[in-house]
Amino acid sequence: MEYPDPKRKSNMFGKLLMAAAVTALCIIMLKHSPSFSTPTHFSRHEKGVTHVLVTGGAGYIGSHAALRLLKESYRVTIVDNLSRGNIGAVKVLQDLFPEPGRLQFIYADLGDPDAVDKIFSENAFDAVIHFAAVAYVGESTTDPLKYYHNITSNTLMVLKSMAAHGVGTLIYSSTCATYGEPEKMPITEETPQVPINPYGKAKKMAEDMILDFSKNSDMAIMILRYFNVIGSDPEGRLGEAPRPELREQGRISGACFDAARGIIPGIKVKGTDYKTHDGTCIRDYIDVTDLVDAHVKALQHAKPQNVGIYNVGTGKGRSVKEFVEACKKATGVDIKVEYLPRRPGDYAEVFSDPTKIRRELNWTARFTDLQESLGIAWRWQKAHHNGYSSS
């Protein structure tokens, strides 16, 4: 039997205290060092939890998608460099899901290879939904390189990092602009892709890159080609708030709300001589709530070594004139309409055939009342005069 000698005991106590102090110091140093971080929920795969990287998650569609994923118990990492998105949208999500391991925001530029590689090294993603992009047809015709850089080249960066770090699932945001102006309506997934502006071309190139890559990869890939996205969260937590300097580039819904609020004198309808029933362009308007639902279904149905390509639209075309009428009713404002010549890069008529996505993913558009979708978005606009920076 050994009896502890009291002198040795106090000596050991001192050593323990010292060890504890050194450990505490190390932890403090690690916590404050930018290049080392203690393991978090985000850095380890967890059974039963799907961790999704949402690029562009501070943007319009990305923030709505992140909200839905969080509601469905996914773990979400948002990467955004806020060049076009809103930190206010991220704050809304953080306030709704403050529990550890639910949502993290990383401020980074996807055009920076080191930053992207670091994000993939330090986090254990199960899937990526790649929304981040620049997305204005008009701007793409005046600044094409910005589009090839921020769409095509950045998608290459994301794809390479996913491959290097073994991330198994990619959902890619593509667009009906990749079809150009097909002869035959509606547009199916087999309609030839002949984009006519740099935005559509950059997205088509990104799709081609993904498809070529998929031939020698196990990755589960879904490419979703969205039609024109409108609306916002029916519970009024999120909205669409593009930078004020992008107003001129803006989409028709933004212009309609700005006109209703008197920020701009009226709405400019560009082109009244298209070969359509009332001479204005025809588009397929898809509500963001439905669109986000398609992403969740795509995630659930994604299969390794398989690429699924789907149109996401309502299947019904509406003219710009019809849109403006719905907007007048939704806002209750008699918006002034100015008719102008055509805008370069626009096409007359675009609407989807959503049969494939209904058959294979059991998805169908449910928010198909234009006036109702615009009414929801208008409520958020009215309550947020300066976007996310005011209440």
Ligand X SMILES: *[C@@H]1O[C@H](CO)[C@@H](O)[C@H](O)[C@H]1NC(C)=O
Q: Kindly tell me which of 75 and 84 has the beta carbon lying closer to ligand X.
A: 84
Q: Tell me which of 50, 81, 161, 311 binds ligand X, using CB under 6 A.
A: 81
Restricting to residues 99-158, which ones interact with ligand X according to CB under 6 A?
109, 111, 134, 145-146, 149-150
58 binds ligand NAD (CB under 6 A): yes
Spatial contact of 191 and 182, defined as CB atoms under 8 Å apart:
yes
- With contacts defined by CB under 6 A, name the span among 41-49, 189-197, 225-233, 343-351 that binds ligand NAD: 225-233
Q: What is the Cα–Cα distance from 83 to 78, expressed in whole angstroms?
A: 14
281 binds ligand NAD (CB under 6 A): no
- Interacting stretch for ligand NAD, rule CB under 6 A, among 23-31, 51-59, 339-347, 383-391? 51-59
Does residue 226 interact with ligand NAD by CB under 6 A?
A: yes
> Annotated catalytic, 3?
no
Which partner, ligand NAD, ligand X, none, binds residue 362 by CB below 5 to 8 Å per kind?
ligand X
Task: Strands of 233-289 (E only): list them.
Answer: 267-270, 282-283, 285-287
61 scored as a contact of ligand NAD (CB under 6 A): yes
Q: What's the residue count for the chain? A: 391
Q: Is 355 in the site for ligand X (CB under 6 A)?
A: no
User: CB neighbours of 147 closer than 8 A, spacing ≥ 6?
Assistant: 134, 139, 140, 198, 199, 201, 202
- Which of 60, 179, 199, 347 is the catalytic position? 199
Quote the CA–CA distance of 381 and 149 in Å, as a whole number: 31
Identify which of 346, 204, 358 has the alpha carbon closest to the alpha carbon of residue 270.
346
What element of type H or E holds 53? strand 51-55
Per CB under 6 A, the segment of 76-84, 117-125, 269-277, 297-305 that binds ligand X is 76-84
Number of residues this chain uses to bind ligand NAD (CB under 6 A): 26
**Which one, 297 or 328, has the nearer CB to ligand X?**
297
Q: Does 237 bind ligand X (CB under 6 A)?
A: no
Stretch that binds ligand NAD, among 66-74, 108-116, 180-188, 381-389 (CB under 6 A): 108-116
Q: According to the 3-state scheme, what is the secondary structure of 135-199?
A: CCHHHHHHCHHHHHHHHHHHHHHHHHHHHHCCCCEEEEEEEHHHHECCCCCCECCCCCCECCCHH
- CA dist 19 and 21 (Å) reads 5
Helix 154-164 with 113-122: angle, nearest 10 deg:
30
Q: How far apart, in whole angstroms, are the C-alpha atoms of residue 205 and residue 185?
A: 23
Instruction: Say how many C-beta atoms besides its own lie within 10 A of residue 323's C-beta.
Output: 25
Binding residues for ligand NAD, rule: CB under 6 A, are 56, 58-62, 80-85, 109-111, 131-133, 135, 150, 154, 173, 175, 226, 228-229
Catalytically active residues are 199
Binding residues for ligand X, rule: CB under 6 A, are 81-84, 109, 111, 134, 145-146, 149-150, 362
